[in-house]
Amino acid sequence: MGAQHRPTIKTVAARAGVGRTTVSRVINGSELVSDEAKAAVLAAIAELNYVPNSVARGLVTRRTNSIALVIPEAESKVGAEPYFSAVIRGVSAALRDTRTQLQLVLVRDRDERDQLTGHVAERRVDGVLLLSVRRHDPLPDILEHLGLPTVLAGRRDADESLSYACSDNLGGAREAGRHLVACGRTTIATITGPLDMEVGRSRLRGWQDAMDEAGLAVEDCPVATADFTEEGGMAAMRSLLERNPRIDAVFAASDVMAVGAMLELRRQGRRVPDDVALVGFDDSYIARYAYPPLTSVRQPVEELGSTITRILLAEIADPGAGHTHRVLPTELVVRESTAPRR
């Protein structure tokens, strides 16, 4: 369609069977539009390939020079976990020498997911980075269906169809378990992350591999699931001790949960590492400033943020390129929380 025949708001309104004001409200994200009218307008926009004047500069390239970093978590969790701030630093570093702007989007419920979907359908961003991926979250499939370049930090499962980068969660957890065995611990529990997240399942499998290698009995290696929060770590530690008071070591699948476990152990009069050795995962600043300092599996979180950003920029530049899958190495950092048993 030539520039002289480019559709206007009036054209979209006629196709959708609504007034021009309604079209304008939909484009600007107003809530003063019924779901039925909004659906009709978005369908007309797609059929006519209409692009609002606010993004007219991108008509030739179809680019907005912006990407969205989408985090489907509450503000309280994003603010409390060092992981998210580290990823954002990595994303920002990768964008530093580009003209691409970053939009941070929190998706906390279905309404906000629908709002994001409409935003993406109107091509207000060139691509999406998605964190905290859960197995049955429909958002990755929606983004893929819309044809928008999308890269995940993590993956939904081993057969992930979208591009992603992740840390070696399984290998890192295996090393943590092996270290606790080497410290002479024999009743080794774990606090997992949510098991609807591949990161939670992989860290659990790595710990299980280490327990199997050591020939430790299943009943001596209890499992508790938590949510990557300090409160979750405390509750999980309390549950583990109720089930098996003889626990002498714990692998927690994040530093934040490990600190929660440490607080609960202290509350119950258990000393770390004399009575219970403790390992976390992330090697965030929390691990260094815990008391005693926390042994932790270091994952390169800032590098993860930079990596997913570079992958996304490459897919935006070459939409026909295949998907990319990267696994970044981890490293066990030993500190005072896992001194060998005397």
The enclosing domain of 33 has a CATH number of: 1.10.260.40
The C-alpha atoms of residue 166 and residue 281 are separated, in whole angstroms, by 14
Query: How much is the pLDDT for 54?
Result: 45
Query: How much is the pLDDT for 1?
Result: 42
Pick 122 or 239 by higher pLDDT: 239
Q: What's the number of domains the chain is made of?
A: 2
CA angle at 301 for the pair 296 and 303, rounded to the nearest 5°: 130
Domain-located, residue 307: no
Q: Collapse the DSSP code of 223 into the 3-class scheme (helix H, G, I; strand E, B; otherwise coil) and give the result.
A: strand
Q: Across residues 264-274, what is the average pLDDT?
A: 97
Query: How much is the pLDDT for 21?
Result: 87
The C-alpha atoms of residue 83 and residue 81 are separated, in whole angstroms, by 5
Nearest to 71 by CA among 59, 57, 83: 83
Domain-located, residue 306: no
H-only helix segments in the chain: 9-16, 20-27, 35-48, 75-80, 82-95, 110-121, 139-145, 169-182, 198-214, 230-243, 255-267, 285-289, 301-317
pLDDT surpassing 90 at residue 139 = no
Beta-bridge partner residues of 328: 167
pLDDT surpassing 60 at residue 109 = yes
Q: Where among 32, 62, 92 does a domain terminate?
A: 62
pLDDT surpassing 80 at residue 51 = no
Neighbours of 46 (CB within 10 A): 12
Band (pLDDT 50/70/90 cuts) for residue 62 is low
Cα separations (Å) of 9 from 4, 5, 12, 46, 208?
Answer: 14, 13, 5, 13, 59
Amino acid identity of residue 262, one-letter, is M
DSSP 299: -
Q: Where among 33, 62, 91 does a domain terminate?
A: 62
Q: Where among 62, 87, 110 does a domain terminate?
A: 62
Q: Across residues 203-215, what is the average pLDDT?
A: 97
Q: Across residues 149-172, what is the average pLDDT?
A: 95
Domain-located, residue 214: yes
Amino acid identity of residue 34, one-letter, is S
Band (pLDDT 50/70/90 cuts) for residue 320 is confident
Cβ atoms of residues 264 and 237 within 8 Å: yes
Query: How much is the pLDDT for 3?
Result: 44
pLDDT surpassing 50 at residue 61 = no
The C-alpha atoms of residue 11 and residue 27 are separated, in whole angstroms, by 14
Strand pairing report for 66-71 and 127-130: parallel
Domain-located, residue 315: no
Structural domain for 175, as ranges:
169-299+331-338
Strand pairing report for 249-252 and 277-282: parallel
Domain-located, residue 136: no
Which two three-digit tokens encode residue 107?
A: 């998706």
Dihedral over alpha carbons 323, 324, 325, 331 (to 10 degrees): -160
Domain-located, residue 311: no
Domain-located, residue 150: no
Domain-located, residue 177: yes
Where residue 218 falls (left for φ over 0; alpha for ψ -120 to 50; beta otherwise) is alpha
The pTM (predicted TM-score) of the whole model is 0.79
The C-alpha atoms of residue 9 and residue 24 are separated, in whole angstroms, by 7
Band (pLDDT 50/70/90 cuts) for residue 2 is very low
H-only helix segments in 183-254: 198-214, 230-243
Which two three-digit tokens encode residue 252?
A: 């927690």
The C-alpha atoms of residue 92 and residue 129 are separated, in whole angstroms, by 12
